[in-house]
Amino acid sequence: MLLFLLKRLLWTIPTLFGVSVLVFSMVHLVPGDPALVILGEHANKEALEALREQMGLNKPLLEQYLSYMDHILHGDLGISLVSGESVLEAFLQRFPATLELSLSALLIAIVIGLATGILAAIKRYSLFDNLSMGFALAGVSMPVFWLGLMLIYFFSVNLGWFPVFGRLNDAYYLDGPTGFYLIDSLIAGNLPAFWDALRHLVLPSIALATIPTAIIARMTRTSMLEVLQEDYVRTAQAKGCAPWRVVLIHTLRNALIPVTTVVGLMLAGLLAGSILTETTFSWPGVGRWMVNALNQRDFPIIQSSSLIVAVIFVGANLVVDILYACINPQIRLS
Amino acid sequence: MRTLTLFCLSCLCLWAKEGGTLIYARGADGSGMDPALVVDGESYAATCNIYETLVRFKYGSTEIEPALAGSWEISKNGLTYTFHLRHGVYFQTTRYWDQKSELTAKDVLFSFERQMGKVPYYKGAKSYGYWASMGMSSIIKKIEALDKYTVRFTLKHPEAPFLADLGMDFLSVLSADYAAHLKSLNKEDELTRKPIGTGPFKLATWFRDDKIVLLKNTDYWGPKAHLDRVVLRVIPNPSVRALALQRGEVSIISAPNRNEIPRLASLPGVAVDEKPGLFVTWMSLNLEKKPFDNRLVRLAINHAINTPDYVKIVYENYATPAINPMPPSMWGYNKDIKPYGYDLKVAKELLAKAGYANGFETTLFTASKYNKQAAEFVQAQLAKIGIKVKIEFFEWGTYLKKVAMGEHKMAFSGWKADTPDPDNFLYILWSKEAAAEIPTRNGSFYKSDVYSKLVTKAKYLSNQAKRTALYQKAQEVFHDDAPWVPLAYPYSIVARLKSVQGYQVSGVQINRFANVYFSK
C-alpha cells in the first residue's frame, strides 16, 4: 500500500509540471496585447510601455516562466495586475463562497441522485423509472445559465420565495472566521442572517446540482441494476431477507463503489466549474473571479488560479485513487 | 395656522428627501480605490463619491464648478493656474483612520507629485496609467504651495483643457497624512483598498466582486448627501439585474439589455432614463490604404450607409445618428453641419468619378464580441454600390492591437469622453500628432494640416468663445475631408425605481450619488 501511495504521489509531480507549462503557455498564446487590453483605447505609448515593463512582458518567455515558477515554489502566487491584490489572498477570500455553494450542490445531488437512482432501479421500467431518467437526461442537457434564469424568474420574481441574487442581504453583515455564511451566522447567533443566507443558497445550489444529480441518478440506477443481477443478491433473496435489507445492505453497498469515485471527482469539478452559476446568481466566488481575470488579461490570476484548480483536481484524483485502493485491494495489485 | 401647516408640510417634504439605502447594480466590480492607479469606470463609480477634485463638473452637465478649490486665477499667458483651497474641509474618519485632518496645500502637492514621479509612493513599480495617457507630464512643469491654502500650477505650454482635466477623478486629492501613515506601516497598498477622501460618502465595507457599501459623510463640508447608504452591487448578468429591479431588490441598474428596456419601462414602479452620453461611434477608413486615400471614395461610402437605419437596427433606436466627431451635448459642437445623407445614386456617381465604377473589394475589421450585426449591416449596404466587404472578426485584445497599429482598411471605433472638453475628441483623436503615435487613436490616420492647426491653436487659447469658433471651423474641415463614417451617438441608459429621484444619466461622472434621494 505504501509503495502504491508513493508511486501515485510521484506521478503528480510531472502532471503538475505539465500543467504549469501548459497554463503559462496558454496565457501567452492568447492573442492581443494585455497592456493594451487593460488600458483600453485611451492608452498612449508612454502608458503602454510603463505597464508592459511593470508586467514583465518585455522579458523573454523562458525568463518569465522561470521567475514565475520561482515565485510559486516560494508560496508567492503573484499580485493581480488590475487590482494589486495578492492572488493567494484574493483566492482565499473568494474560496469559501465557492466551497459553500459546491458542497450544498453536492449534498443535493447525492441525496436526490441516490434516492432517484435506487428507486428507479428497484422499479425498473415503471413510470417513475422512465420519468426520472427522462428528467436526468434533461438535467444533463440543460444549459446552467438558462436553468438559473428560469429558476430566478419563477421562484424569485413570480413567487417571491427566494432572493434574485447574491449571498446575503445588505441588512446583514457577517465577518466570521470560516467564510461560510451558514456557519458564521450560527457562530454569531444571528438566526435571521442564517435564514437569509440559506434562502440565498437554495436556487444557485439547485442550478449547480442539476447535472451532478442527473449523473448520480443514472449511475446509481445502472450500478444497482448490475448488482441486483449478482448471485449473492439472489441468494439473499432466496434466504428470505427482507426486501429493504436486500436493497440497502446487500446491493447498495456494492453498487455505491463506482458512484463514490464519481462523487469524489465531482466535488473538484463543482469547485472549478461553478463559473456559470456564479455569474447567473451574482455569487462572489472563485469562478467569477477567474472569468473576470480572463477578460482583463490579468496574467497572474489566470496562471495561479488555473494552477490551483489543477492542484485541486490532481489532489481529488489522488484521494479518490487512495480511497478506491482501500476499498478494493485489486486496484493496488494491478 | 395656515403658515404653520405650510411650515410643517415643507419640513415634511425636506425630511422626506433624507435617508434610505440606494442599491446600485452594475456588471462588474471596480479594480481599486486609488483613483490615480485605476483606469476603469467601475472603480471611479465608487471613488468619485469618496474623493474630490480641485474643480468638478456640475452634476449631469459638462460645466466646470468649484470643488475643493473655492476659486482660482489663470495668468494672462495661460501658463500659471493659482487655486485657493476652501478652508475647513476635513478628510473622512473611518474605522481604519480616525484622525481628523484638514485639507491643505500639502495634500494637493502629494496627490500630484506622486503621479509626476517626484514622490515615490508605492514599493513596487506602479503605473499611473491615466496620468500617462492624458500626457500630464508634458503639460505640468511644476506645482508649488504658496501658503497653506494656495496651490500654483505652472504649465509647460498653454493648455486650455487643463482646467477640465483637473475635474477628472484620477486627479482626486488624497490625504498626505494618511498616505504617510500607511507608508510608515509598510502598507502603502492599503491605499487602494481603504480610501480616505473628503467626499460626501465614505467607505464602510468592500466585499470584492460582491458589494461596496458607502456611508454618508456627516462631516462633509458642503451640502450633505440625502442618502444614508449607497450599496454598489455586482450583478454580472444584465437579465438578472433587470429581474432584481423588477423585484425591488435594487434601486438602479446600469446598462440594461436594450431588448429588455420596453418591458422594464412598462413595469409600474420602474422608470427608464435614456439620454445621449458623451459618446461617439464611427467607422475608421484608413487613409494610408487604397482606395481610402481617395476622398471621393470616402464620400461615396458615407452616402451609401443609411445611418438612421443603422441606429435603428444596431442600437434599437437607443442612439441618434452621428454627424460630427464629438457629441452634440459638448460645447463647441457645430450645429450647421448636415449629415452626408443616404443617396445611392450620388454614391455610385462619386465612386465612378473616383475610378471605381465597378466597385472594389475591401475588408472590415471588427471584434467578435461586439459589432457582428453592425458589420453585416455595413457589408449589405456597401454591396449595393458594388463594394464587396469581407468581414474579419478578431478577439477583442487582438482587434484593439491591430487597429491601433493601423493594420485595418476599415474598422469600427468609438470614444467616450474622459473630460468634457472638445479637445478630448477633436485633438487627441484626429490631429496629425495623434496619427503619428503608434499605437494610435487616430484609426483613419487623418493628417490634415489645416485641421490640426485649428485644433492645436484652440488647445492653447483660454478664451472659450475663440476656441468655439476654431472648433467649429475644424469640424467643417473634417466634414469636408470625410476621413470616417459617422455612425451613432449612443444613449446612456439606466433603469431605476420610480422612487429614486435626482439621478442624472448624461454628462460625466454619472455615478455621483450626493444629489440622489428617495421620494416617499
Length in residues, chain A:
334
Q: DSSP string of A202-257?
A: HHHHHHHHHHHHHHHHHHHHHHHHHHHTSHHHHHHHHTT--HHHIIIIIIIHHHHH
Percent of chain B's residues with pLDDT above 90:
67
> What pLDDT is stored for residue A331 in this prediction?
60
> What pLDDT is stored for residue A40 in this prediction?
61
Confidence of residue B1 (pLDDT cuts 50, 70, 90): very low
Chain B (225-244) residues lying within 8 Å, Cβ to Cβ, of chain A: 231, 233-237, 239-240, 243-244
Strand partners, B415: B280
Residues whose CB is less than 8 angstroms from the CB of residue B392 and which lie 6 or more positions away in sequence, other chains included: B363, B364, B365, B366
The answer to whether B350 faces chain A, any CB pair under 8 Å, is no
Pair B488, B373: CB distance under 8 Å? no
Check B127 against A167: CB less than 8 A apart. Answer: no
Task: Tell me the CATH number for domain A91-327.
Answer: 1.10.3720.10
Pick from A317-331, B285-299, B413-427 the range whose average pLDDT is largest. B285-299
Helix ranges restricted to H, B40-175: 41-50, 105-116, 129-133, 162-165
List pLDDT tens digits, range B117-173.
888 887 665 678 788 878 888 899 999 999 999 999 999 999 988 999 999 999 999
Check A30 against B211: CB less than 8 A apart. Answer: no
Contacts of B213 in chain A (CB under 8 A): 170
Q: What is the mean pLDDT of residues A275-290?
A: 89
Contacts of B209 in chain A (CB under 8 A): 94, 284, 288-289, 292
List pLDDT tens digits, range B353-372.
999 999 999 999 998 666 78
Query: Is beta strand B211-216 parallel, antiparallel or unpaired with respect to B55-57?
Result: unpaired
Helix or strand run (H / E) with residue A130: helix A127-141
Residue type for position A210: T
- Rounded to 5 degrees, what are φ and ψ at B238? -60, -30
Residues whose CB is less than 8 angstroms from the CB of residue B334 and which lie 6 or more positions away in sequence, other chains included: B324, B471, B472, B475, B476
B373 CB neighbour count, 10 Å cutoff = 12
3-state secondary structure of B211: strand
The answer to whether B415 faces chain A, any CB pair under 8 Å, is yes
Q: DSSP string of A49-97?
A: HHHHHHHTTTS-HHHHHHHHHHHHHTT---B-TTT--BHHHHHHHHHHH
Q: What is the mean pLDDT of residues B390-397?
A: 83
Is ipTM strictly over 0.85? no
> What pLDDT is stored for residue B153 in this prediction?
96
Check A31 against B418: CB less than 8 A apart. Answer: no
* Residues of each domain in chain A carrying CATH 1.10.3720.10: 91-327
Instruction: Please name the member of B401, B415, B441 whose beta carbon is closest to the beta carbon of A32.
Output: B401
List pLDDT tens digits, range A148-185.
999 999 999 999 999 999 998 888 888 878 889 999 99
Contacts of B419 in chain A (CB under 8 A): none
Is A223 a residue whose pLDDT tops 70? yes
Is A229 a residue whose pLDDT tops 90? no
pTM: 0.85
List pLDDT tens digits, range B216-239.
999 999 999 999 999 999 998 999
Check B247 against A164: CB less than 8 A apart. Answer: yes
Confidence of residue B352 (pLDDT cuts 50, 70, 90): very high
Question: Cell 445621449 sits at which residue?
Answer: B276
Confidence of residue A246 (pLDDT cuts 50, 70, 90): confident
Check B23 against A79: CB less than 8 A apart. Answer: no
Is B329 a residue whose pLDDT tops 50? yes
